[in-house]
Each structure stands twice: as C-alpha cells, then as structure tokens.
Amino acid sequence: MGWLGLLIMTGLGLGFAVVMILLSSLLGPKNPTPEKLAPYECGMPAVGDARERQSVKFYLVAMVFLLFDIEVAFLYPWAVALRDLGWTGFVQIVTFFLILVVGYIYIWRKGVLDWGPATTSAARAAARAMRERNAA
Amino acid sequence: MPAGFSPSELAYLLPEFVLTLGALLVLLADAFLSRDRRGAVIGLSLVVLAATGAALAWVGAPHQTIARGLLSMDAFGLFFKVLVLVAAALTLLMSGPYLAAEAMPAGAYSFLVLAATLGMFFMASGVELITIFIGLETMAVAFYILAGLLKPNPRSNEAAVKYFLLGAFSLGILLYGMSLLYGLTGSTNLGTIAAAVANPAAVGRPLLLVAVILVVAGLAFKIAAVPFHMWAPDVYEGAPTPITAFISVGSKAASFAMLLRIVVLGLPSMAEEWRTLFYVLSVLSMTAGNIAALTQTNLKRMLAYSSIAHAGYLLIGIVAATPRGISAMLIYLAVYTLMQLGAFGILVLMRRGDSAGDEIQDLNGLFQRQPAAAVAMLVFLLSLGGIPPTAGFMGKFWLFGAAVEAGYVWLAVVAVLNSVVSLYYYLRVVVAMWTREPEGLEPRMRPALALTLALALAGTLVLGLYPRPLFDLAETSAKSLGSAVWAPSR
Amino acid sequence: MATTTQYLVLSATLFMIGVAGVVSRRNIIVILMSIELMLNAVNINLMAFSLRWGNTTGQVFTLFVIAVAAAEAAVGLGIILALYRNRDTVNVDEMDVLKS
C-alpha cells in the first residue's frame, strides 16, 4: 500500500505544477520589455556574454574532481564489508589510497591546485609558458 | 570471505610490484626535479625497467594460477612480458633524442610509458575477464594521453582524439560481449567459461555467437585488423614517433596475448566459429593493408598500413590454432617487435629542425649522409618484407608453414602473394635512400639512438641466422597456454 | 519484478542508441556521451546477470567499468580541450590535418 501513497504524492506534485503554469499563462498580463526578457542577474543589468571564456582552471578542476570522485566508488563497498575483509582489505585499500596520493602530490607540484599567484617553481614556469603563448 | 592474495602468492607478483613502485617513483621524481632533467627521468625509467626484468627472471614461470584464478603465471605470460619489456626499453631509449628535438618534458611521458607496460603485463597473464579488461584500459588510457602529448601540434591533437574515440567505442563493444559471456556462464573466469560453454547448444548458441562476434570485433580494433583499422594510419602519423612505435608493437603484442587467452582458453567449443571470423579478418587485413600501403608517401602512414598487414599475417596463427601455429605467432611477434622498432628508430633520426621527417622523400640520399643508418634501415625493411637471411623471413616461413600444416593452404598462398606485394613499397624507401639526392638538414645521430638501432639490428640479424633458442622458447610458451582446442583435431 | 529478458532488451536498446550516436553525430562531446551510454548498457547487463546468477562478480565488474569510464571521460575531455585550444572546433568533420 505504501506505493499508492507515493503515487498520489507524485500526482499531486506534478498536477500542482502544471496547473500553476497554466493559470499564470492564462491569467497573467503580458507586457514584455527588453529588461524583462533579459536573464536575471541580482537585479542588475547583465554584463557581457554568458559564453565568455572560462579560466582553464575550471576544466582542470572538473577533471581532477572526476578522477578523485570515483575513488569513493571503491571506498564504499570496502566500508560496507569492512569486518569481513579484515586487515587484508585494509592493506589493499590503503595501497589504493597511497597510489592516489602520489597522483595528488603530482598535480599539486604541477600547480593544478594553485588558484592565486603561483607558489611552486613548476607552477610559475607553467604560468610563464601560458603567458608567452597568449602573447604570441 | 577475505579477497585477494595469500602471502606466498605475492612473491610471484614481484615484477608487477617493482614496475608499479618504479612508475610512481618516476612520477614523484618528475614532480620534484626541475623541468629540464629529461635525461635523469628517462634514465630512472630505464633502471625501473631493468629492475622489472631482473624480477621477471627471478620469478620465472612457476606455472601457478594465483589470486583466486585471476592471473596465470605461466611461460606464455612470461614470453609476452619480456617482449613488451624489451619494446618499452627500446622505446624509452629512442625517446631521449626525440623529446629533445621536440622540446618536450619527459616526466609524464616516461610515467605513462611505464603505466602502459604495466597494463600489458596484466593483459599477458590475466585469465579472467575483469583483470584482462583493467589491464587493457591501463594500457589504452596511457596511450590516448601519449598520442596527444605534443600539445601544440594539431596533428598530435587529432591523433589523440581519433584514437580515444575509436578506442572507447571498441571498448564498449568488447565489454558488451564480455557482459554477455558472463551472463551466459555466470563467471568471468576463462576456465569456468570454457567448461560452461563446452556444449554451446545448452547455453543458447545464438547469444553465444553474438558474444563471440562482439568480443572478436572489440579485440580486432585493438590489433588494427581490417575492417576495424581506420584509426591506425591517422594515429600512427600524428602521435610522437617513439609512441607510434610502442603502440604498433607493444599494444599489438599485448592485445594478441589477450586475444589468444580469451578465444583459445575461454571459448574452445566455439573454435569453428572464431576460426572463420579470424580467417576473414586475416585475409582482409593482409590484402587491404598491403594495397593501401602501396600508394602512401608518408613513411609513418606506410608503416601503419604495413602493420595492419602484419596483423593479418599474425592472425594466421590463430586461424591454425595449433601449438605450432601459436608458437609461430609468438616468434613472429618477437621478430616484428624488433624490426618495427628499428624502422621507427630511423624515423626518430630523421626528425630534425622543423621537419617532421616522416615523408619518404625525407630519407632521400640517406646512404650518402649516414651510411650505417641506411644499411640498418635496409635490413629492417627487408625483414619486414620477409627476405632471408633476416628474422622476418624465419618468422614468416614458420607462420605460413603452420597454416599449411593445419590445412589452410589457400590462406598461406594469399599470405605469400601479399608478402611479394609488400616488397614493392618497402623497396621504394630503399630506392629513395640510395639513388636520390639528399635534401634538407643533415640528420644527427645521437648515442642513445645509435644504441637503440644497434640493438634492434642485432636482434633482427641474430634471430634470422640463429633462431633456434627463440623457437624453443616460443614452443614452450605456446604449450603452456594449454587448451582444449588442440586436443580434438578438426 | 522485471525479468532478465526485460533488462536485456533495455540494455540492448540503450547500446544501440549509443552506437547510433557514435556513428551519426559529429560533435565530439556528443560522441563521448554516446560512448558513455554504451558503457551504461553494459552495466545494466552486468547487474541483471549478477541478479540472475546470484553472485557478485557482475557487481564488481560494474564498479570497475564505472571507474574506467570516469578515467576515460577525464582523459577524453583533456584531449578534446587540447584540440579545441589549437583548432577552435569540436567537430569530427573538421579534423582533416591527417590525410586519409
């Protein structure tokens, strides 16, 4: 019977949304001006194009996140079976983790995690190379 | 149930441990050394490979199945591990001069070469689908990055994108086939699968056939057999030259190891079906590869098509699927590794100044400028074409003989005709080296490159004149693969 | 409760949509998404078979497929980004530096 309640809840939720949208489009006055059609940005007029170039940092962080995020897919099954796996499982998951830590140290030293002014020599070199490429 | 290894089994994995730790060490060294310590990083990687080799020699082939049936430590696996280790070492050796010419950092590069080698190790000894798949992907992902590592070079970008897209696509097909195999048998262990499908009618023959076709198609992508070869010429042309060499020998050898394990060990009851599939793939690859190679003006593309044709020759061994056929395949893979790496070594030599050096006309008059290199290239090309007294001849002779012995006379005839065709385009390069006037910058021979070429040359000649030890090794290895295929004759 | 056959039909459909996407679309990102569809079809297969056989091998396989798919996606996006910086395109039809 628990499923019926869920079904009614879903139906009510969907129905309410549909009815509200229909009502507002039927009853609401329509007087479009350019300001009203512009994307909402904190009540201020929008500045520039939404498609402007993002810093490459965003892509890098997204990729790094994707990789380290997946380690959870292995940590959860291990945590669930923690008692059954015992020390063997512990050693294995720590080994797995240490390999990831080496990867983490690598990206840290290569300056992937530096957002502000570069702090490592490798990151400074990378930033310099990027400036030169942009200038060229 | 505690998963994993018993302590005594861990010792058998020493080479893999050494390689893993070594690769991580290289990564850390790159993170903490200054940017221009190219030689040091490559030297460290070579030391890691040497240590792995020593560990391999210490472990040998104990003929044990370890880790609850995930890995088989047998002579077959050992053969392939030594093969890819040699390929990786020669690749790194010729990488130093190449990286210097391209002004490329060596850290990530060396690490990825080691990671790809590690993946190949698991492809060579895995006897369980998940293990094999993880090995394959460790190798493949490393190669996708390596192919695109010349970041400012649009050719390298494009090669990486094409390699990645087609590689991932073929992975999807392969995995779908593997999932069906698991669904039909309830196991991912190749031995259990073989037992479960011993009577194909009992598990549902049509679905099993679909699974076999999908797995074979997925693997045919990896070995670049026609009609799944489209990526090869573009990737070979665009990737950094030493990486092209490594993809064409290492990836091919490891993929063949995995192919043999899966079909011979896991699917002996479907032998009739996969024989037919490989027969078709073999004839198509040989013929289409050689014909396409005839018209190429870019040496890297020509070698790509030639490597497609070689995949066709190698498939003959699986079609025969006799111990002799398999051992002939192993011999040919070893020989192919040396001569192909040698030919790509010459391409690294031609990389000079602003010239990529991969057009055939870039080799014009090489004999006048670098007689030793020209003679070495001549030997590699003759070996690729299968002319005695080179190793290529012995390999082809044994391979085609195996086909005749197994009753596939027509396949052998097609292969011989194809070898004759292939001579034409190999000799075009020779003609360019000897008779044309040199142009462009003078190629500069560096010690590391000279050593690579000398080793490949020595291997190609010695294995051609004195092939007995290799033959014995290959025979032992092929026998250790062990299978139900050979027992009942067709 | 769905039967194994129903799961298989679902996964086969998903797989074919993925293959069709890879073959017909020209945008690299969309092709990448289609490949992910194929891999997810594999995952559905594996889970359905795991349920049917009552062993966990299929679930373990699925975990590894997910991990590998993530690694491939990260590497793939990196490669595509490198291409985009040099060429200002993510269209396979405009990849013509390498002659064929």
Q: What is the pLDDT of residues B392-401, one digit of tens each?
A: 999 999 999 9
- Report CB contact under 8 Å: C41, B176: yes
**What residues in A contact C36, CB-CB < 8 Å?**
none
Residue A1 or residue B332, greater confidence: B332
CB contact set of A106 (below 8 Å; sequence gap of 6+): B27, B28, B30, B31
Give the neighbours of chain C: at least 3 Cβ pairs within 8 Å: A, B
**B24 within 8 A of B2, measured Cβ to Cβ:** no
Instruction: Write the residue in C15, C49, C72 that is nearest to B183 by C-beta.
Output: C49
Contacts of A69 in chain C (CB under 8 A): 70
CA distance B389 to B358: 28
**What's the pLDDT score for residue B200?**
82
Average pLDDT over every residue of B95-106: 87
List, in order, residues 6 or more apart from B342 with CB less than 8 Å away.
B376, B377, B379, B380, B452, B453, B456, B457, B460
Structure tokens at A96: 């797995």
- C68 is a domain residue: yes
Chain B residues touching chain A at CB-CB below 8 Å: 1-4, 20, 24, 27-28, 30-32, 34-35, 152
The reported pLDDT for the residue numbered A63 is 84
**Bridge partners, B65 (sequence order):** B72
User: Do B471 and B335 meet the contact criterion of CB atoms below 8 Å apart?
Assistant: no
Residue pLDDT, tens place only, B291-336: 999 999 999 999 999 999 999 999 999 999 888 999 999 999 999 9
Alpha carbon B18 to its chain centroid, in Å, reads 22
Is A106 within 8 Å of B31 when comparing Cβ atoms?
yes
Which chain B residue shows the shortest CA-CA distance from A125?
Answer: B35
Task: Determine whether the interchain pair A63/C67 forms a contact, defined as Cβ–Cβ distance below 8 Å.
Answer: no
pLDDT exceeds cutoff 90 at B380: yes
Q: Is the distance from CB of B128 to CB of B70 less than 8 angstroms?
A: yes
Higher pLDDT, B201 or C16: C16
Nearest to B302 by CA among B178, B421, B152: B421
> How many angstroms separate the CA atoms of A24 and B140, rounded?
55
Q: Which residues contact C6 (CB under 8 A, 6 or more apart)?
A: none
pLDDT tens for C40-87 read 999 999 999 999 999 999 999 999 999 999 999 999 989 988 888 888
On whether any CB of chain B is under 8 Å from the CB of C14, the answer is no
* Percent of residues, chain C, with pLDDT higher than 90: 67
Q: How many domains does chain C have?
A: 1
With an 8 Å Cβ cutoff, the interface of chain A facing chain C consists of 56, 59, 62-64, 66-67, 69-70, 73-74, 77
Do B66 and B11 touch, CB atoms closer than 8 A?
A: no
Per-residue pLDDT, B355: 80
Burial classification of residue A58, based on how many CB atoms lie within 10 Å of its CB (0-12 exposed, 13-18 middle, 19 or more buried): exposed
Judged against a pLDDT cut of 80, whether residue A122 lies above it is answered with no
For position C79, which CATH number holds?
1.10.287.3510
Can you give the pLDDT at residue B237?
A: 93
pLDDT grade for A33, boundaries at 50, 70 and 90:
confident
- Is C52 inside any structural domain? yes
How long is chain A? 136
Summarize the confidence of residues A7-27 as an average pLDDT: 92
Residues in B 391-410 with any Cβ partner in C closer than 8 A: none
pLDDT reading at B144 higher than 90: yes
Q: Give me the pLDDT at residue B1, please.
A: 36
Indicate whether A21 pLDDT > 70: yes
| Closest C-alpha to B331, from B347, B346, B351, B317 | B317
Question: What does the pLDDT read at residue B488?
Answer: 44
Put simply, the chain B residues between 186 and 245 with a CB less than 8 A from any chain C CB are 186-188, 233-234, 237-238
**In 3D, which of B378, B379, B408, B404 has the Cα closest to residue B391?**
B379
ipTM higher than threshold 0.90:
yes
Residue B2: per-residue pLDDT: 41
For residue A120, the model assigns a pLDDT of: 60
CB atoms within 10 A of CB B1: 6
Q: Name residue B355's beta-bridge partners.
A: B352
Confidence of residue B489 (pLDDT cuts 50, 70, 90): very low
Alpha carbons A74 and C46: distance in angstroms, whole number = 17
Look at residues B250, B456, B236 and name the one whose alpha carbon lies nearest to residue B356.
B236
C27 and chain B: CB distance < 8 Å anywhere? Answer: no
Could C74 and A66 be called an inter-chain contact, meaning their C-beta atoms sit closer than 8 Å? yes
Residue C14 lies in a domain: yes
**Distance of CA B444 to CAs B138, B350, B351, B370, B450, Å?**
35, 8, 9, 9, 10
| Strand B64-66 relative to strand B71-73, pairing | antiparallel
Q: Out of A129-133, B58-62, B154-158, B341-345, which region has the weakest mean confidence (pLDDT)? A: A129-133
pLDDT digits (tens, 9 = 90+) for B454-480: 999 999 999 999 999 999 999 989 888
What Rg value do the Cα atoms of chain B yield, rounded?
Answer: 21
Q: Which of B169, B180, B234 sits opposite C100 (nearest CB)?
A: B234
Residue A76: closest C-alpha in chain C: C63
Q: Judge whether C49 lies within some domain.
A: yes
**Does the pLDDT of residue B486 top 60, yes or no?**
no
pLDDT for B63 equals 82
Provide the pLDDT for residue A135.
63
What are the chain B neighbours of C15 within 8 Å (beta carbons)? 172, 176
Handedness of CA B394, B395, B398, B403 (dihedral sign): negative
Give the pLDDT of residue B181: 94
Residue B289 has pLDDT above 60, yes or no: yes
Say if C99 falls within a structural domain: no
Q: Which of A67, A70, A92 to mutate to test the interface with C (most CBs of C within 10 A)?
A: A70
Instruction: Kindly state the DSSP code that residue B437 receives in the 8-state scheme.
Output: P
pLDDT at position B346 over 60: yes
Nearest CB to B164 within list C45, C55, C79: C79
Q: A63 contacts in C (CB within 8 Å)?
A: 74, 77-78
| Start-to-end Cα distance in chain C | 51
**H or E element in which residue A13 lies:** helix A2-27
CB contact under 8 A, B164 and C15: no
Whole-number mean pLDDT of chain B?
91
Minimum mean pLDDT range among A131-135, B25-29, B279-283, B417-421? A131-135
Which of residues 58 through 117 in chain A touch B, CB cutoff 8 A?
84-86, 88-89, 92, 99, 102-103, 105-106, 108-110
In this complex, which chains have at least 3 CB pairs below 8 Å with chain A? B, C
Domain of C77? 4-92
Going B345 to B351 to B356 to B358, the CA torsion angle's sign is negative
| B46 neighbors B89 (Cβ within 8 angstroms) | yes
- Residues of chain A positioned with their CB less than 8 A from the CB of B1: 84
Rounded to two decimals, the pTM is 0.89
DSSP 3-state assignment of A55?
Answer: coil
- Those residues with Cβ within 8 angstroms of residue C43's Cβ, 6 or more apart along the chain or in another chain: C62, C65, C66
- Sort out which chain A residues have CB atoms less than 8 A from C63's CB and list them: 73-74, 77
Question: According to the model, what pLDDT value does residue C18 have?
Answer: 95
Residue corresponding to tokens 């007995």: B468
The whole-number pLDDT of residue B152 equals 86
CA quadruple B430, B432, B437, B440: dihedral positive or negative? negative
Q: Which residues of B touch A60 (CB under 8 A)?
A: none
pLDDT band at C2 (very low <50, low <70, confident <90, very high): confident
CB–CB of B239/B156 below 8 Å?
yes
Burial of B125 by CB count in 10 Å (0-12 exposed, 13-18 middle, 19+ buried)?
Answer: buried
- Three-state DSSP class for residue B128: strand
Residue A99, classified by CB atoms within 10 Å of its CB into exposed (0-12), middle (13-18) or buried (19+), is middle
Are B183 and C45 in contact (CB < 8 Å)?
A: yes
Given CB atoms, is A124 within the 8 Å cutoff of chain B? Answer: no
Chain C residues at the A interface, defined by Cβ less than 8 Å, are 63, 66-67, 70-71, 73-74, 77-78, 81
Residue C100 pLDDT greater than 60, yes or no: no
Contacts C57 to A, Cβ<8 Å? none
N-term to C-term CA, chain B: 43
Say which of A59, A63, A70 has its CB closest to residue C67: A70
pLDDT at B490 over 50: no
Q: Which amino acid is at C40?
A: N
CA–CA distance, B244 with B227 (Å, rounded to integer)? 20
For residue C97, give the chain B residue with the closest CA.
Answer: B155
**Mean pLDDT value of segment B345-363:** 87
The whole-number pLDDT of residue B285 equals: 96
Cα angle C49, B68, C45 (rounded to 5 degrees) comes to 15
Chain C: nearest CA to A24, how far in angstroms?
A: 36
Distance between start and end Cα atoms, chain A = 69
Q: Which of residues 34-63 of C touch B (CB under 8 A)?
A: 35, 38-39, 41-42, 45-46, 48-49, 52-53, 55, 57-58, 60-61
pLDDT given at position B236: 94
**Structural domain includes residue C100:** no
The mean pLDDT of B402-410, rounded to a whole number, is 93
* Adjacent-strand bridge partners of C27: C91
Q: How many CB pairs under 8 A join B and C?
A: 132
For residue A61, the model assigns a pLDDT of 83
Mean pLDDT of chain A: 80
Burial letters A23-34, b for 16+ CB under 10 A, else e = eeeeeeeeeeee
Match 């498609």 to its residue by tokens.
A51
Q: Which residue of A has its CA nearest to B107?
A: A106
CB pairs under 8 A between A and B: 34
pLDDT at A119 over 70: no
Positive or negative CA dihedral for B343, B344, B345, B348?
A: positive
- How high is the pLDDT of residue B291? 95
pLDDT tier, B438 (very low <50, low <70, confident <90, very high otherwise):
confident
- Contact between B315 and B225 (Cβ < 8 Å): yes
Cα–Cα distance measured from residue A27 to residue A61, given in angstroms and rounded to the nearest whole number: 46
- What percentage of chain B reaches a pLDDT higher than 90? 72
The residue length of chain B stands at: 490
Q: Find out whether B125 and B71 touch, Cβ atoms under 8 Å.
A: yes
Residues of A in contact with C71 (CB under 8 A): 67, 70
Whether B141 sits inside 8 A of C53 (CB atoms) is: no
Determine contact: C26 vs chain B, CB below 8 A.
Answer: no
In angstroms, the CA B151 to CA B279 distance is 40
